[in-house]
Amino acid sequence: MTRTAQRATQASLVVAALLAGLPAAASAASKPTVRTGAATRITATSVRLHGAVTPNGAQTTYLFQYGRTKLYGTSTPITVAGSGSKKIRVRVDVGGLVPARRYHYRLVARNSKGVVSGSDRSFKTPAQPLALSLVASPNPVRFGKGIVLAGVLSGTGNAGRQIVLQQSPFPHTQGFTQVGNALVANQQGSFAFTLLSVPLNTQFRVLLPSKPQVVSPITGVGVAPRLTTHVSSRRVFSGARVRFSGTIRPARRGTRVVIQRLRGKRWKRVAATKSRRGAKTFSRYARRVRIRRGGRYRVLVDSVDGYYVPNSGRTVRIRLRR
């Protein structure tokens, strides 16, 4: 063998030895290995998807595909899995699902050597329990004025269900009784009851006649008395008396009436009286007040018996003469 041939042979042996000492991932990267795992923490609207990815020596990314069919149609954000040779367990939380539906999903990984999809798996979201909400507007409502009680029936199969409104007037000892006719929830589960008036403080709730155990929380509606305010004079000398008078609806004899003056940002009491008989539909009040300071005054019906909520009349400005 010539010297040149010997040198070539020695060089080949050195290269072979070097290659033999290299890690397998550096010498032979391949497509990632993927396994679609189980679905856990399944709720009516969310799920946690699991899986495993082995990068096999090349920088690898992965995502989960999911949807109502094996065409999927939706995917989670792309996530980096690295370039190692060890299996990596992965998971992702998915929301915005529809209750009582079956979903398909799979894990997909990609690197420079190609794309690999895991096997298809599926899970089913449970039905969302039916639930009722109820809101009153306005609240409190002025005596004799109308009110709207609106709400939403949420949950699986909420559309088109009958809903009944019930009431329990103060002192709430007679239980709940139905108000008017039942309504039917629309496609979104929404509904609204309109009442022309509420005579006194009342608790309301709604329920499903077909499932009486599905009932809303109680909504309390306060009723504010309506009152008028008259003053005998708006411009007086310091120390003069001004007569405050007016009517209160509904008629309530003995209701506490307070005359107040605005001091800074707070209303301060300057005098008080009680309502007296007026007519079948209203009561009257009257009180003379010595005016030592000008400013803004008002009359407050300070009901404390539970039938109504406190309410104030219009503000009047009284000025002192110089």
Quick: pLDDT tens for 2-45. 444 444 444 343 333 323 333 444 458 999 999 999 999 999 99
Do residues 153 and 210 share a domain?
yes
Residue 235 makes CB contacts below 8 A (sequence gap 6+) with 318, 319, 320, 321
**CB-based contact 45:96 (threshold 8 Å):** yes
Residue 293 domain boundaries: 225-320
* Alpha-carbon gap, residue 273 to 226, rounded angstroms: 17
Do residues 216 and 258 share a domain?
no
Q: Nearest 5°: phi and psi at 220?
A: -90, 130
Q: Has residue 12 been placed in a domain?
A: no
Do residues 217 and 232 share a domain?
no
* Number of structural domains in the chain: 3
Q: What is the β-pairing status of strands 74-75 and 88-94?
A: unpaired
The SS3 of residue 312 is: strand
Q: What is the pLDDT along the chain (322 residues), one digit of tens a residue?
A: 444 444 444 434 333 332 333 344 445 899 999 999 999 999 999 999 999 999 999 999 999 999 999 999 999 999 999 999 999 999 999 999 999 999 999 999 999 999 999 999 999 999 999 999 999 999 999 999 999 999 999 999 999 999 999 999 999 998 999 999 999 999 999 999 999 999 999 999 999 999 999 999 999 999 999 999 999 999 999 999 999 999 999 998 899 999 999 999 999 999 999 999 899 999 999 999 999 999 999 999 987 688 999 999 999 999 999 8
Do residues 234 and 314 share a domain?
yes
Do residues 119 and 27 share a domain?
yes
Among the three residues 76, 91, 124, which one is the final residue of a domain in this structure?
Answer: 124
Quick: pLDDT tens for 265-316. 999 999 999 999 899 999 999 999 999 999 999 999 987 688 999 999 999 9
Among the three residues 170, 199, 223, which one is the final residue of a domain in this structure?
Answer: 223
Residue 314: give its domain's CATH number: 2.60.40.1930
pLDDT of residue 304: 64
Average pLDDT, the chain: 91
* Alpha-carbon gap, residue 34 to 36, rounded angstroms: 7
What is the value of pTM for the model shown? 0.72
Do residues 232 and 304 share a domain?
yes
